[in-house]
């Protein structure tokens, strides 16, 4: 298998992350949203945010249940030329985290996935680009395929 990324375990706290080579699709952020958003909006279980992603860039944002959050996030992803670019794909693996509490540093460790717009941690991932911002979006109970292989089904590892 050709490797397009570098996997790095983040200490012992429960996640592995990379800067993905390419992302396309719709990500439904239904856990919590990072940076200033998690403190302000807490859990997104009842107000999920949809990221429409084309060639690793968020090209549209929807949050029908909270138009203020939608507008704020749309402004956020325009802060610099790469603030709408997917800079991180991570798998949370801490079985001790049982629920989303609105504290991103804990929420992103829940078994599931989070993706981030912006800063790709180039010093750790080898990414050749940069951004001044980084906003994680936690997805609970995802189904994840990597290079055509099923990794996670409805939030549960398949191996």
Output the pTM of the full model: 0.87
**What average pLDDT does the structure give for the chain?**
90
Q: pLDDT, tens digit, for every residue of 21-73?
A: 999 999 999 999 998 898 899 999 999 999 999 999 999 999 999 999 999 99
Domain boundaries, the chain: 8-157
Give me the sheet containing 25-29, strands edge to edge.
25-29, 49-54, 57-62
Q: pLDDT, tens digit, for every residue of 127-158?
A: 999 999 999 999 999 998 888 899 999 999 89
Largest CA distance in the chain: 43
Distance from C-alpha of 158 to C-alpha of 101, rounded to nearest angstrom = 26
Q: Which helix (H) or strand (E) holds 144?
A: strand 144-146
- Paired residues of 29 in beta bridges: 49
């Amino acid at each position: 298998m050709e490797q397009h990324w570098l996997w790095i375990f983040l200490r012992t706290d429960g996640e592995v992350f990379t800067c993905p080579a390419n992302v396309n699709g719709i990500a439904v952020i239904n856990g919590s949203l990072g940076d200033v958003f998690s403190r302000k909006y807490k859990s997104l279980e009842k107000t999920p945010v949809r990221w429409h992603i084309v060639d690793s860039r968020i090209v549209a944002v929807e949050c029908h249940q909270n138009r203020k959050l939608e507008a704020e996030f749309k402004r956020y992803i325009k802060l610099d030329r790469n603030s709408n670019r997917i800079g991180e794909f991570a798998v949370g693996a801490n079985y001790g985290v049982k629920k989303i509490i609105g504290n991103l540093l804990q929420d992103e460790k829940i078994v599931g996935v989070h993706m981030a717009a912006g800063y790709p941690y180039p010093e750790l991932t080898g990414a050749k680009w940069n951004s001044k911002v980084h906003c994680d979006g936690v997805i609970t109970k995802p189904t994840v395929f990597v290079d055509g292989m099923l990794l996670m089904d409805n939030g549960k590892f398949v191996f």
